[in-house]
């Protein structure tokens, strides 16, 4: 079973992007990266990490390009990671088994770290779909941040095997401010509560 890793990035966290790509190298036969930016030096580094890459325009939100990016994959399965995510060894082993099953979409729990601190008490298990069969019409992503995709299959599997979501508070707060215009009011309110809870937990003002 061939797996395509697909990442949408703004190119500002190249070391994190490299970590994401490297974490999946024992699984994937193809790496597709869509770069939302205009820094040619960053794009050259991105090209070195990928089998295929495309430069689009800066958007401040990966969700605008998700459907486009996933459509570039050629593998039988699509593995989606953001540039601040990576896959631990236990999850690699699980993925190698699950792709031989009859499931179409696999949801993983997120182990969310901010400044190295586990924030499970704020976000809980935080499941996300990050692996699915490449099939037309199976999955469609809205272009609004923090919105789950439409999935057209009952064959979905939820695992406790984690994907690591590792962020810095200052970067997270900056990105929060940039993507607020693309979020609906309910999600803005939820994310503002999240930011305030983080500030309290991490002792930020």
Distance CA 31, CA 97 (A): 20
- Residue 105 vs residue 183, higher pLDDT: 105
| Residue 185 reports pLDDT greater than 90 | no
pLDDT of residue 60: 80
pLDDT of residue 172: 85
> How high is the mean pLDDT of the chain?
93
Looking at CATH, the fold of the domain delimited by 3-167 is given as Spore Coat Polysaccharide Biosynthesis Protein SpsA; Chain A (3.90.550)
Nearest to 145, CA basis, from 197, 185, 87: 185
pLDDT of residue 157: 98
pLDDT of residue 143: 79
| Residue 8 reports pLDDT greater than 80 | yes
| Residue 183 reports pLDDT greater than 90 | no
> Residues 110, 165: contact at Cβ < 8 Å?
yes
Instruction: Report residue 113 as tokens.
Output: 């770290």
Q: How, if at all, do strands 77-80 and 128-133 pair? A: antiparallel
pLDDT of residue 144: 74
Question: What 3-state class would DSSP assign to 77?
Answer: strand
Residues 6+ apart with CB under 8 A from 133: 76, 77, 78, 104, 105
Most confident region among 55-59, 126-130, 140-144 by mean pLDDT: 126-130
Tens of pLDDT, residues 52-109: 999 999 988 888 899 999 999 999 999 999 999 999 999 999 999 999 999 999 999 9
Q: What are the sequence ranges of the domains in the chain?
A: 3-167
pLDDT of residue 18: 97
Number of residues that make up the chain: 205
pLDDT of residue 33: 98
- Residue 59 vs residue 179, higher pLDDT: 59
| Residue 181 reports pLDDT greater than 80 | no
């Amino acid at each position: 079973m061939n797996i395509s890793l697909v990442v949408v990035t703004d190119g500002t966290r190249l070391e994190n992007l490299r970590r994401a790509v490297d974490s999946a190298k024992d699984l994937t036969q193809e790496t597709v990266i869509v770069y939302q930016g205009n820094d040619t030096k960053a794009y050259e580094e991105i090209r070195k990490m990928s089998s295929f890459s495309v430069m689009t325009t800066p958007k401040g939100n990966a969700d605008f390009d998700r459907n486009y990016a996933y459509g570039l994959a050629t593998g039988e399965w699509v593995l989606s990671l953001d540039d601040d995510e990576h896959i631990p060894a236990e999850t690699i082993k699980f993925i190698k088994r699950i792709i031989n099953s009859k499931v179409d979409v696999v949801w993983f729990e997120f182990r969310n770290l901010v400044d190295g601190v586990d924030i499970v008490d704020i976000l809980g298990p935080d499941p996300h779909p990050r692996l699915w069969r490449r099939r037309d019409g199976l999955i469609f992503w809205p272009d609004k941040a923090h919105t789950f995709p439409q999935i057209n299959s009952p064959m979905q599997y939820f695992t406790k095997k984690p994907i690591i979501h590792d962020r810095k508070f200052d970067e997270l707060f900056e990105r929060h401010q940039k993507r607020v215009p693309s979020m609906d009011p309910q999600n803005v309110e939820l994310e503002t509560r999240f930011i305030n809870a983080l500030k309290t937990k991490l002792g930020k003002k």
